[in-house]
Structure 1
């Protein structure tokens, strides 16, 4: 099985360095270009199944990829691959958060796995839903699966592959438009390639 993960194209919120997960925003011009570059890179692949998060930025990216493929594949929307919910930190950069929520920011930074932003979710909670999603994906009998999602989800999938070691979350980059090929063969899951389509 070939599982292609694509991080959605850039948004204005990415440009501003905002923490945002549940905010529902569209791609900007650069993001649209990145989606088209991902589509060109993936053009030889015929997808049997496509999954997106609930957010417009992933749906928009996936539709561009599939349109360029001239494929009519249903988009399976799965909330488990939504980006992490940053609660009160949503729509703010780290300078704003440190100023508005100094204690909460300090607590979160001191134990990022178990603590959560006010009204948001902890990384452990976030990882738990991604773990369940991946368990279900591996049960499928498909050749090529496309999953268009978010940077935090992609890095969490890397942790899943590395036996659930969450410390690896910060050891990988995940840029807008990146394409990661993960293979599942003979009960072995591994990262085959990570491609920056926008260089």
Structure 2
């Protein structure tokens, strides 16, 4: 007998993108999926096709939009909607946004902080703010689509941070869990309580 109180949300990271300039892309437009990225998402869609997905929500970025469209081809009757709550983390460092700036302008310091204490990256949107919006959106989906299967297409740090918060773990553990391109986190809830987490590695 189907448990109608169980809600399943699949967080999908977008596929590989074309190599661009060595800059912080963040929400900067124009980065599209490579052929490998397209194949990664096609394989992710094949995995998802075994579930009765009724809704696909995605970040406004081009790479996530393309990924969501590919997935939607397997679910012709699913609702497909963009949501800024799933958008990339708009990072900052030393009081300034980093979007569009070259990696070289920050040296090793930014990587050291990102790896050890990402919650201390200040200047744009904080990691805490980014995950609050994404996890809040998850709660809205659970309430609206109780007992259903939903896909959210988003970005590495947003997905990892949301998984950590839902498991009541520190956001400074961001880099301790995987989220490769084209991978999936399957989150199962009973009412608003998270009861299982499964990581499905990327489809290379």
Is TM > 0.5 for Structure 1 vs Structure 2?
Answer: yes
Q: Quick check: 1:22 aligned with 2:27? A: yes
Residue 82 (structure 2) aligns with = 77
When normalised by structure 1's length, the TM-score is: 0.82
Query: Is contact 2:55–2:149 with CA below 8 Å preserved after alignment?
Result: yes
Q: Quick check: 1:131 aligned with 2:155? A: no
Structure 2 residue runs of 5 or longer lacking an equivalent are 1-6
Residue 49 (structure 2) aligns with = 43
SS in 2 for 1:183: strand
**What is the distance in 1 between the residues matched to 2:135 and 2:142?**
11
Equivalent residue pairs, number: 191
What do residues 31-73 of structure 1 show as CA deviations (whole Å, max 9, x unaligned)?
Answer: 1111111111112122122111111211111111121x15232
C-alpha distance 41-49 of structure 1, shift in aligned 2 (>3 A): same
Residue 97 (structure 1) aligns with = 105
Structure 1 residue runs of 5 or longer lacking an equivalent are none
Q: 1:33 aligns with which of 27, 39, 46?
A: 39
Residue 194 (structure 1) aligns with = 199
Q: Quick check: 1:61 aligned with 2:67? A: yes
When normalised by structure 2's length, the TM-score is: 0.80
C-alpha distance 16-38 of structure 1, shift in aligned 2 (>3 A): farther
**What is the distance in 2 between the residues matched to 1:197 and 1:171?**
17
Query: Is contact 1:2–1:182 with CA below 8 Å preserved after alignment?
Result: yes
